Homo-oligomer: A and B are copies of this chain.
Amino acid sequence: MNKGNLLLAQSGGATAVINASAVGVIRQAIESKAFDKVLCAHFGITGILKEDFFDVSDITEDQLNLLAKTPSSAFGSCRYKLPNVSENGEIYSNVAKILEKYNVSCLAYNGGNDSMDTCSKIADYLKNIDHSCKIVGVPKTVDNDLEFTHYCPGYGSASKYIATTIEEIALDTAVYEKGRITICEIMGRDTGWLTAACSVAAKVGRGPDLIYLPEREFDIDDFLTKSEQVYRKKGHCLVAVSEGVRNSNGYVGADERTDSFEHVQLGGVANKLCNLVSLKLGINTRSIDLSLPQRAAAHILSLRDQQDALLCGKHAVRLALEGKSGVMSAINFADGTTVCSEIALCKVANTVKHVPKEYISKDGAHISPEFDEYILPIIKGEVELEYEYGIPRYFDNSKLKKLQIK
């Protein structure tokens, strides 16, 4: 009997647990015995359109365990937002034909806002043409900006890494009697979730003195006053700032990014603020951009985040097996335990969940203690790693088998 195949696609910027979500999907697909083959698209939707697939039907449990600890999309990703059907119907009919050709009965799409938009459009299209393939979304983004899920897998591990790194930077920058004003730029163009995670280090007294999120208008004069006050008192000052902080003129870090030297990649807001501090206050500065390791540092995974990513991936397949389509698997916390639920993709797509006002202090430069209850469970627990040659052993995707087309 022909049971159909499951197809997984990874999309958007990678995270430290995007492969844990994949393992959830693959494991559930294999365990359910509801599919003939388990396929993974090479480079997301691009791989679907090119009919470029890995066949992981025979993947071993050992491989899955290693994959679940490995950062960044093992099957490749893409940054491709589908046009609307009205703009380019051909792409949709191609996707439908390819799903038909490869007998795909479930497409699990793992990504963030844009990916859920893509996923939603495909689901709508297939529904309209009475295509039987079920489309399910699996949430993923370090930014944590997806609505309708308590948090996004990827955010927990990124936060654990950021809070740990900022704790260590705080220790390092406090060793001299007369130090500097150090400004750390944290990912988050539109939301401050990742920057807010620095508050965990501040809570134990080894964190930033000032924390700025894009949710509050950034007042440069107030920032200069506050950082100078801290510096005069302590001899050093550590500032955490979201890359996307803005004021009435737009992004504070935008000038360097959009001028004629755009290709120079000067970095953004931390450099700019350091420059301002030097000019206006005459105090030595250092700017640090935590950069890519924020989303790739699987050597310090949050156990909760990894486990929830697995659960969420499994739940997505279960939803498809229940006959549902056009839904995303979501995370809820019930009495501290993770319970997965579902939400219509059309509701999630293109939403942005901001850090609520109550998590930001009145002065706009700190995080309120109320945030603890939210962040602490999400960054809890450690994942035991395997080491080889003194560094973490990660999944080697060069050994994956491509689907042989008959």
Chain A residues with CB under 8 Å of chain B are 10, 14, 43, 46, 70-73, 76-79, 160, 163-165, 167-169, 171-177, 200-201, 203-206, 263-267, 271, 274-275, 278-279, 285-289, 291-293, 295-300, 302, 376, 379-382, 387-394, 396, 398
Contact = CB atoms under 8 A, between A and B. Distances in A.
Which of A46, A76, A300, A388 neighbours the largest number of chain B CB atoms within 10 Å of its CB? Answer: A300
A76 to B, nearest CB: 6
Nearest to A167: B391
B293 A265 contact: no
A336 to B, nearest CB: 14
A291 B292 contact: no
A339 to B, nearest CB: 21
Contact of A391 (B72, B169, B176, B204): B204
B265 A266 contact: no
Given A264-B278, A271-B266, A297-B168, A388 B204 contact: yes
A171 B271 contact: no
A70 B171 contact: yes
A379 B299 CA distance: 15
- List the 3 closest A-B pairs by CB distance, nearest first: A379-B390, A263-B278, A72-B171
Given A168-B72, A278-B263, A200 B390 contact: yes
A46 B206 contact: no
Copies of this chain, tallied across the complex = 2
A289 B289 contact: yes
A14 B170 CA distance: 12
Given A300-B300, A387-B382, A274 B265 contact: yes
A168 B296 contact: yes
Given A163-B391, A176-B77, A168 B71 contact: yes
Given A163-B391, A175-B73, A300-B299, A274 B264 contact: yes
B391 A173 contact: no
Given A292-B169, A292-B288, A271 B275 contact: no
A133 to B, nearest CB: 24
Given A79-B176, A165-B297, 4 more contacts: A167-B394, A201-B391, A263-B278, A288-B291
A160 B205 CA distance: 27
Contacts of A302: 390
Contacts of A267: 267, 271, 287
Nearest to A161: B299
B78 A177 contact: yes
A200 B169 contact: no
A382 B279 CA distance: 44
A59 B14 CA distance: 45
B271 A168 contact: no
A286 B275 CA distance: 21
